[in-house]
């Protein structure tokens, strides 16, 4: 039996691929869009991602003297917000794609936060950190791109200190069929074309739209958070469910 026959499969957008292929393909997408990533978020969310990230910080309530691990942290948007609110704190930004971190470092210099930040290339499913290291773990619009999201959640639980907090911001499903239909029409007909115009990249944006539709809905993902061991797990819908925040504690 060949290696391919024994591998599991997963989704890359609407395609079914071997698990070993997905990380490389995701890296290809984000290598392609790294320099336009912040514009991409505006396109994907119609500009509302800033409000969602502020809502994430409101619920998270960053505290001083804490250590944040921001996984799939890309250009550092969440870490910057966290450090501004916490005051004296430290953030580690981890991403699988180095060009995303390069873009983030540029922003860190501009924000004069470089001494409070670490930038690490790494895999969400195999974090290069000791257990019980961080006070807070965040992942924003990244977990749907992980090959095995449950393993990423398990790793989040491992590296958090007892009493640590998990917070996941991700595109989700609108619990209204008519509104979801309208949103789907916008997503599939507008976003890839805007990606072509803005970044000369139709295919990457098409993947990102498809990846949202393949990601578990709010309640299913909540079950995954609980399966990883997190207590007091709950979620909040944002913009009627276009995105959702999931929270849990290492108790």
Q: What is the pLDDT of residue 4?
A: 39
What are the residues facing 95 on neighbouring strands? 121
Residue 248: per-residue pLDDT: 98
What does the alpha-carbon distance between residue 159 and residue 157 come to, in Å, rounded to a whole number? 6
Tens digits of per-residue pLDDT, 88-139?
Answer: 999 999 999 888 898 888 877 657 788 899 999 999 999 999 999 999 999 9
E strand or H helix at 180, and its extent? Answer: helix 177-199
- What pLDDT, on a 0 to 100 scale, did the predictor assign at position 138? 98
Residues 180, 198: Cα–Cα separation, whole Å? 25
User: By mean pLDDT, which of 22-26, 53-57, 223-227 is the weakest?
Assistant: 22-26
In this predicted structure, which of 20-29, 65-74, 90-99, 136-145 has the lowest mean pLDDT?
Answer: 20-29
Rounded to whole angstroms, the Cα distance separating 165 from 232 reads: 10
pLDDT of residue 3 exceeding 70, the answer is: no
Give the separation between CA 7 and CA 20, rounded to whole angstroms: 8
Q: Which two tokens stand for residue 44?
A: 């994907």
CA 115 to chain centroid, in Å, comes to 24
pLDDT at 231 (0 to 100): 98
Torsion angle defined by CA atoms of residues 56, 124, 67 and 74, in that order, rounded to the nearest 10 degrees: -60
Q: Taking residues 214-231, what's their average pLDDT?
A: 96
CA 28, chain centre distance (Å):
16
Closest CA to 33 of 46, 22, 23, 43: 43
């Amino acid at each position: 039996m060949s290696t391919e026959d024994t591998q599991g499969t997963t989704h890359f957008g609407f395609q079914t691929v071997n698990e070993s292929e997905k990380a490389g393909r995701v890296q290809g997408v984000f290598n392609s869009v790294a320099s336009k990533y912040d514009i991409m978020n505006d396109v994907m969310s119609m500009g509302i991602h800033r409000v969602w990230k502020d809502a994430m910080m409101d619920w998270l309530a960053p505290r001083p003297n804490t250590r944040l691990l921001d996984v799939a942290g890309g250009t550092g948007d969440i870490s910057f917000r966290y450090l501004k609110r916490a005051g004296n704190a430290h953030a580690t930004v981890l991403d699988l794609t180095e060009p995303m971190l390069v873009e983030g470092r540029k922003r860190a210099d501009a924000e004069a936060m470089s001494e409070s930040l670490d930038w690490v290339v790494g895999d969400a499913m195999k974090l290069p950190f000791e257990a019980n290291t961080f006070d807070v773990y965040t992942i924003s619009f990244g977990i749907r791109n992980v090959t095995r999201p449950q393993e990423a959640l398990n790793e989040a639980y491992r590296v958090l200190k007892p009493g640590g907090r998990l917070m996941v911001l991700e595109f989700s499903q609108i619990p209204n069929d008519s509104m979801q239909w309208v949103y789907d029409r916008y997503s599939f007909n507008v976003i890839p074309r805007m990606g072509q115009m803005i970044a000369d990249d139709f295919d990457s944006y098409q993947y990102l739209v498809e990846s949202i539709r393949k990601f578990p809905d709010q309640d299913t993902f909540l079950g995954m958070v609980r399966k990883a061991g997190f207590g007091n797990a709950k979620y909040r819908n944002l913009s009627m469910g276009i995105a959702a925040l999931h929270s849990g504690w290492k108790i």
